[in-house]
Amino acid sequence: MPLSTRHHASHDVFLLRDGLFEAPPNAVLHTGGTAAPGGEEKAAPGGLGRTLSQWPLNCFLLRGPTGLTLVDAGCGSAWGEGFGGARAALGRLGLAPEAIDHVLLTHLHSDHGLGLFEGEAAYFPRAEILLPRAELAFFTDTAERDRLPAARQGGFALAARLQRLYA
Per residue in 3-27, pLDDT (tens digit) is 788 888 999 999 999 999 888 876 6
β-bridge partners, 64? 67
Q: Which domains does the chain have, with CATH numbers?
A: 4-18+58-165 (3.60.15.10)
The pLDDT tens digits of the residues spanning 27-43 come to: 666 554 444 333 334 34
Whole-structure pTM value: 0.83
Interval 46-59 mean pLDDT: 75
Residue 102: C-alpha distances to residues 26, 66, 71, 98, 105 (Å): 33, 9, 9, 10, 10
Please give the angle made by the CA atoms of 29, 35 and 40, to the nearest 5 degrees: 60
Residue 5: C-alpha distances to residues 38, 55, 63, 105, 155 (Å): 38, 21, 11, 20, 30
